[in-house]
Amino acid sequence: MEEKLAELFKMTRDYNNKQDKYYAQINYSDFRIQKIEMSLREKHNHSFIRHYIICLHNDAIINEDEIIKLFKICIGNTTDK
């Protein structure tokens, strides 16, 4: 999981360095349950464009690779704007 989180944080940093209008935000917590929050926000007023909350547990139907795919889809529509 740590490697996938590092990859996610790197993708976020790379995306944010290339964008003028939007920024991606990742929050991770591991208190009682692992939770990842992924947001795409506007830079000028910080409003949310997209916001996902993913809770991970032993029976989770989403895995780390699918979280990376979801993030790529989330930022993919704004990469060229």
Give how far Cα 72 sits from Cα of 30, 38, 75, 76, 79, Å: 23, 11, 5, 6, 10
Pair 42, 49: CB distance under 8 Å: yes
pTM: 0.79
Q: What is the reported pLDDT for 81? A: 47
Which residues does the chain have with pLDDT short of 50? 80-81
- Each domain of the chain, given as residue ranges in start order, spans 2-75
Tens digit of pLDDT for each residue in 17-39? 999 999 999 999 988 888 999 99
